[in-house]
Structure 1
Amino acid sequence: MFDAISDVRGTDGSFLADRRAIEGLPVRLVIALVVGVASLSVMMGMIGSIDGLAATELDAQPEPEVTSTGSQSIDVAVVDPDGGHVSDATVIVRSGSARIDGPATATTDGDGIATVSVDPELGPNQPDGTLSIDIKPPAGSDYVDERENTAVLVVDD
């Protein structure tokens, strides 16, 4: 039993003289860190592929995409990544570099299309501008609208 203790303490019997643990500790920590990060990335990949935890991004498809100034209606289709139309979503059209009097809103019908009435105007010496489109997904759905949607280009007629 005394031989095992003297091996741990080193040849002179003190812990200060033992250099084996100090040299091996950083290598063991690096190995544990690499294994931990690899395991975490595998687990996060598994969690991200579960449909129940993933959100689905929506996009707007305005028709027409290019329009002129003056009072008119724009049909906006709300679609999911697979191209399927989404009903009961709220479409909000706001001023961009083209101006309208306050935001215009409409809700998509059973076909996933909302008709929004706008009256875009351009500033003096402004040849074109844009109207931005935002989507508020249906309540209780796993849809989100975090990325920028297709804008409507307004040109001077």
Structure 2
Amino acid sequence: MTEHHSGTPDRSRTDFWADQRAIEGLPVRLVIALVVGVASLSVMMGMIGDIDGLAATELDAQPEPEVTTPGDQSIDVAVVDPDGTRIADATVIVRGGSARIDGVATATTDEDGIATVDVAPELGPNQPDGTLTIDIKPPAGSDYVDERENTKVLVVAE
């Protein structure tokens, strides 16, 4: 062993190399800190998302009938907010999904929040059913949005 200027042996170096414990508590502490940090971050991001969510209200479409047949059809679509209140002056857009229509069909909701859309869905050969998709363009100048998928209309072969 080497000696320091004071004449005592240098045990710190040999003790370090002889220590078999390594860093036994460190990995567990790092994992706990990481988990707590990620949980805290997700809570904060959720709070920020809620603040933004208060400014915009999601609209939903309630088609009637939800199930129809190919050929000329009239579908009443009620546009509602999360509380079930119907929204006037919203534009309803119906597009072909797995069922086809010529172009797109549009209508504007009346004061009762209902839009009547005339469509003529078609199914392909050997196709037993298909769907029509519904999108909503909220009234101009409102705090409404339509970001989530709306109820689809099922078209079933006769």
State TM-score, norm by structure 2: 0.68
AA aligned to 1:138 is P
Aligned length: 145
How many Å separate the matches in 2 of 1:153 and 1:34? 45
Seq. identity, %: 77
**Which residue is 1:21 aligned to?**
none
| Structure 2 SS opposite 1:97 | coil
| Structure 1 SS opposite 2:117 | strand
**Which residue is 1:137 aligned to?**
138
How many Å separate the matches in 1 of 2:111 and 2:143? 15
Does structure 2 retain, via aligned residues, the 8 Å contact 1:136–1:145? no
Q: Deviations over 1:50-95 (max 9, x none)?
A: 4x75322111110000001111210001111111111111100001
Structure 1: tracts of 5 or more residues without a match: 1-31
Structure 2: tracts of 5 or more residues without a match: 1-32
How many Å separate the matches in 2 of 1:67 and 1:129? 10
Q: Deviations over 1:106-156 (max 9, x none)?
A: 011111110000001111111111111111111132333333x11101111
Q: Describe how 1:3-152 pairs up with structure 2 within 5 A.
A: 44-50=45-51, 54=54, 55-139=56-140, 140-147=142-149, 149-152=150-153
How many Å separate the matches in 2 of 1:88 and 1:104? 16
Does structure 1 retain, via aligned residues, the 8 Å contact 2:135–2:146? no
CA 1:34 to 1:87, structure 2 compared with 1: closer, same or farther past 3 Å? same
How many Å separate the matches in 1 of 2:129 and 2:44? 49
How many Å separate the matches in 2 of 1:34 and 1:87? 47
1:45 to partner: Cα distance? 4.7
CA 1:45 to 1:150, structure 2 compared with 1: closer, same or farther past 3 Å? closer
How many Å separate the matches in 1 of 2:102 and 2:75? 15
